[in-house]
């Protein structure tokens, strides 16, 4: 961690920031992790944000850390292509670029949160990009999406928006464009029904460190930090500070003593899960802190308790297959936590790519009333080609399901799930809601028979169980890119019960690469096929 203080010499600050970026600009599958944390004050610097780097202010509100300069993500290292600009973040800052514009050219797992930007914002760098996520921000100028294939913006205020390609969604955003789906493909919903913003690290005027936990908001619109922002500051003394190399046994002993958990940057190999058993526990990762599930156990489990916050973590699958990488509530959980829901914010999962990884399911939610706010659940479609460590393949890095929801009243904001070998999302709970979904089906099934092996039905991107009576999802983009066998056909992108309480709005399917694979229908048997010669299809409502 680099803690930046306004008393430091500006050239020293810049030198240290540049050194971190120099190490992380190309480190897509590297092992280093960094958090650059600015204490309250005014700064003049340029912060270029590379892989596995989180840049955050430590103020109570964004205005307490004021940067005259840029806080930006570029794709220079990849010829302007931001398609793999993953795993980085900017949070809790006021940014005043001297030229009136900044750039955040990213794809998945790169949150832009709690930022006050005095200027315009570009979301691409000239080449293709596949993002992304903005939340709890105030952008004074216009956001230009450029080549972004999709984007989700939540609970923010923006000066304007320009651009749309496949699936742009706005939820509770002041200044958002109106719904025009399918041309241009913009979906706007007026407010956020229920949300708790991500907790964040702070330091007060007298040097007291803590973690601020924002209060639950209902029917929210615009950022939560304007006006009177409510919440609770937990003193840092109530946190166990984990460092790389610590065992789950030591961490669990601290959690049993009633402490919260702050996970500092690094990689944590775990042969048993971190176990959260107390309601209201905060687990906050810094600098893309990475929990690796070694030995076939989960990386983290949560009991059926209310008000837990899990935020800022990357969960890696190990070489020995885990039945599940993260479990929220044991199976059979039945307590009603809607009044004090558990939050998963900026929680990312990876199977393969950096190393061989295997899991049956990445995330299983069994508790009731859980909120997911920006999840990327990824079975890797590529690896570290520069070092000939690819670690991908149909039979090498394996995972069947990305997300399984068994709990009732679960809500997802900004859900990204990609490349799983069976149903990417399997939703079995009642009254589930998803606002924005991005999915790519697996690239690598060697044949239709191999893709369906051992199954009574074809797999899909998003399946709602037959018994479910009520479910809603809005703003869904589902894409096929069957590079190993372009003849593969997926009968339906979404499979769900045919009843009035199950509804889908603004769905897009695309056959990428000019038609590598076919998605025959969008929902059940509704909609035309995305295929070679007709690569993009849309559906406004189902039913």
Q: pLDDT, tens digit, for every residue of 162-177?
A: 999 999 999 999 999 9
The answer to whether 79 and 127 are in contact (CB under 8 A) is: yes
- CA 24 – CA 34 distance, rounded (Å): 9
Q: Pick the catalytic residue from 74, 91, 440, 470.
A: 440
- CA 403 – CA 368 distance, rounded (Å): 15
| Residue 319, CA distances (Å) to 63, 132, 270 in order | 44, 29, 12
| 3-state SS track over 103-166 | EECCCCCCCEEEEEECCEEECCCCCCECCCEEECCEEEEEEECCCECEEEEECCEEEEEECCCC
The answer to whether 326 and 359 are in contact (CB under 8 A) is: no
Q: What is the pLDDT of residue 390?
A: 66
- CA 154 – CA 257 distance, rounded (Å): 36
470 is catalytic: no
- The predicted model scores a pTM of 0.97
The answer to whether 381 and 352 are in contact (CB under 8 A) is: no
Q: DSSP readout, 481-542?
A: --SS-TT-EES-SEE---STTEEEEEEEEEESTTTSSEE--SBTTBSPPBBTTB-EEEEEEE
**Ramachandran region of residue 388, left (φ > 0), alpha (ψ -120 to 50) or beta?**
left
The answer to whether 180 and 35 are in contact (CB under 8 A) is: no
pLDDT in tens, 323-380: 999 999 999 999 999 999 999 999 999 999 999 999 999 999 999 999 999 999 999 9
Q: How confident is the model at residue 205 (pLDDT cuts 50, 70, 90)?
A: confident
The percentage of the chain sitting over the pLDDT mark of 70, rounded to a whole number, equals: 99
E strand or H helix that includes residue 452:
helix 448-452
- CA 159 – CA 379 distance, rounded (Å): 36
Q: What is the pLDDT of residue 453?
A: 82
DSSP conformational letter for 25: T
Q: What is the pLDDT of residue 389?
A: 57
- CA 296 – CA 286 distance, rounded (Å): 25
Give me 73's structure tokens.
Answer: 């993500």
Give me 378's structure tokens.
Answer: 């990824």
471 has pLDDT over 90: yes
pLDDT in tens, 366-389: 999 999 999 999 999 998 766 555
Give me 23's structure tokens.
Answer: 């190490």
Look at strands 398-405 and 425-427 and give their pairing: parallel
Q: What is the pLDDT of residue 388?
A: 53
Q: What is the pLDDT of residue 456?
A: 78
322 has pLDDT over 90: yes
- CA 423 – CA 109 distance, rounded (Å): 21
The answer to whether 137 and 156 are in contact (CB under 8 A) is: yes
pLDDT in tens, 503-512: 999 999 999 9
Q: DSSP readout, 289-344?
A: EEEEE-TT--SEEE-S-SS-EEEEEEEEE-SSPEEEEEEES-TT-----TTS--EE
pLDDT in tens, 30-54: 999 999 999 999 999 999 999 999 9
Give me 122's structure tokens.
Answer: 């570009």
| Residue range 505-524: mean pLDDT, rounded | 97
Give me 446's structure tokens.
Answer: 């060697």
Q: How confident is the model at residue 391 (pLDDT cuts 50, 70, 90)?
A: confident
229 has pLDDT over 80: no
- CA 208 – CA 320 distance, rounded (Å): 42
pLDDT in tens, 100-140: 999 999 999 999 999 999 999 999 999 999 989 999 999 99
pLDDT in tens, 291-318: 999 999 999 999 999 999 999 999 999 9
| Residue range 484-493: mean pLDDT, rounded | 97
- CA 33 – CA 24 distance, rounded (Å): 9
255 has pLDDT over 70: yes
- CA 376 – CA 344 distance, rounded (Å): 11
319: phi then psi, degrees, rounded to nearest 5: -70, -30
Q: What is the pLDDT of residue 457?
A: 83
Vertex 140, ends 134 and 145: CA angle to 5°?
50
- CA 179 – CA 521 distance, rounded (Å): 23
What is the overall mean pLDDT for the chain? Answer: 96
Q: What is the pLDDT of residue 334?
A: 93
């Amino acid at each position: 961690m680099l803690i930046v203080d306004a008393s430091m010499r500006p050239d020293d600050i810049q030198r240290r920031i540049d050194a971190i970026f120099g190490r992380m600009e190309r480190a897509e599958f590297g092992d280093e992790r960094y958090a650059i944390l600015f204490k309250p004050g005014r700064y003049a610097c340029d912060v270029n944000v590379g892989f596995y780097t989180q840049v955050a202010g430590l103020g109570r509100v964004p205005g307490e850390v004021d940067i005259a300069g840029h806080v930006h993500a570029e794709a220079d290292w990849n010829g302007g292509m931001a398609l793999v600009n993953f795993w980085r973040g900017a949070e809790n800052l006021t940014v005043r670029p001297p030229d009136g514009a900044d750039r955040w050219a990213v794809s998945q797992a790169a949150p832009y949160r709690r930022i006050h930007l005095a200027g315009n914002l570009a979301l691409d760098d000239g080449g293709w990009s596949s993002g992304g996520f903005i939340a709890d921000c105030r952008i004074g100028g216009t956001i230009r999406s450029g080549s972004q294939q999709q984007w989700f913006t939540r609970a923010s205020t923006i000066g304007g928006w320009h651009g749309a390609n496949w699936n742009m969604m706005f939820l509770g955003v002041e200044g958002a464009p109106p719904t025009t789906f399918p041309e241009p493909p913009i979906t706007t919903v007026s407010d956020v029904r229920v949300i708790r913003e991500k907790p964040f690290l702070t330091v007060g005027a007298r040097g007291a460190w803590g973690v601020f936990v924002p209060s639950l908001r209902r029917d929210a619109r615009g950022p939560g930090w304007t006006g009177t922002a409510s919440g609770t500051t937990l003193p840092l003394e109530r946190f166990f500070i984990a460092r790389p190399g610590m065992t789950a046994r030591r961490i669990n002993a601290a959690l049993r003593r009633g402490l919260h958990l702050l996970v500092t940057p690094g990689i944590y190999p775990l042969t048993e899960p971190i176990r959260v058993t107390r309601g209201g526990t905060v687990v906050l990762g810094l600098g893309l802190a990475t929990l690796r599930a070694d030995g076939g156990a989960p990386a983290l489990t949560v009991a059926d308790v209310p008000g837990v916050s899990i935020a800022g973590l990357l969960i890696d699958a190990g070489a020995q297959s885990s039945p599940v990488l993260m479990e929220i509530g044991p199976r059979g959980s039945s307590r009603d936590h809607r009044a004090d829901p558990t939050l998963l914010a900026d929680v990312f999962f990876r199977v393969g790519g950096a190393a061989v990884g295997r899991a049956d399911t990445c995330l299983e939610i069994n508790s009731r009333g859980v909120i997911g706010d920006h999840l990327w659940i990824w079975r890797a479609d590529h690896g570290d080609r520069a070092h000939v460590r690819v670690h991908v393949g149909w039979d090498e890095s394996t995972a069947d399901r990305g997300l399984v929801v068994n709990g009732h009243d679960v809500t997802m904001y900004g859900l990204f799930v990609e490349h799983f070998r069976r149903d990417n999302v399997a939703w079995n709970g009642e009254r589930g809601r998803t606002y924005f979904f991005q999915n790519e089906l697996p690239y690598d099934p060697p044949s239709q028979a191999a893709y369906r092996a051992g199954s009574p039905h074809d797999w899909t991107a998003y399946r709602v169980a037959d018994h479910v009576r009520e479910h809603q999802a809005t703003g869904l983009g589902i894409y096929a890119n069957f590079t190993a066998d372009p003849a593969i056909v997926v009968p339906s992108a979404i499979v769900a019960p045919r009843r009035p309480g199950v509804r889908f709005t603004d769905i897009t399917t695309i056959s990428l690469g000019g038609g590598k694979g076919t998605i025959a229908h969008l929902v059940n048997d509704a909609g035309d096929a995305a295929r070679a010669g007709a690569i993009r299809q849309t559906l406004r409502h189902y039913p």
